[in-house]
Amino acid sequence: MSTSDVLAIVASTVLVIIVAVLAVVLVLLTQTLRELRAAVEVLEQDALALLDDARSSVEDAATEIDRVERLVTSAERLGEAKRAIATPVVKVMAFGTGVSRAAQRLREGEPRPARRSQARSQSKGRRSAS
């Protein structure tokens, strides 16, 4: 056997070992890719379910915001109506109360009450006289 034959055997043996190592690496890489693909599919399903839930929550929130907006608008309208009605109603009630007191005094025959300034001057006069 010549040196070239020995080198050819060594080179072919090294080549077979390299091919065997590459085959093992390819098998392991294939298994890893399959596991990765399965994980990506699970992740995709979970993400789609999560997006569906998020879409539903956003739609519910939009509905509630619309409802609250309508309630606030109604409350503002009621506040405006209350302000528009309150002043005349208070005036009418005060007038009615005054008329009913005057009518009651006329019925009972009571004299008109003295004004505060007259009542004060009379009370001061009584104190000085005592």
Give tens-digit pLDDT for 3-58.
989 999 999 999 999 999 999 999 999 999 999 999 999 999 999 999 999 999 99
pLDDT of residue 114: 57
> Does residue 85 lie in a domain region?
yes
Q: Is residue 117 part of a domain?
A: no
Position 123 in a domain: no
C-alpha–C-alpha distance, residues 58 and 118, integer Å: 73
Indicate whether 27 belongs to any domain. yes
DSSP state of 111: P
For residues 38 and 30, the answer to whether their CB atoms sit within 8 Å is no
Q: In this structure, is residue 124 part of a structural domain?
A: no
- What's the whole-model pTM score? 0.43
- Residue 92 covered by a domain: yes
Please give the structure tokens belonging to residue 69. Answer: 């907006």
The total of structural domains in the chain comes to 1
Q: Report how far residue 126's alpha carbon sits from residue 20's, in angstroms, rounded to the nearest whole number.
A: 130
Q: Do the domain assignments include residue 126?
A: no
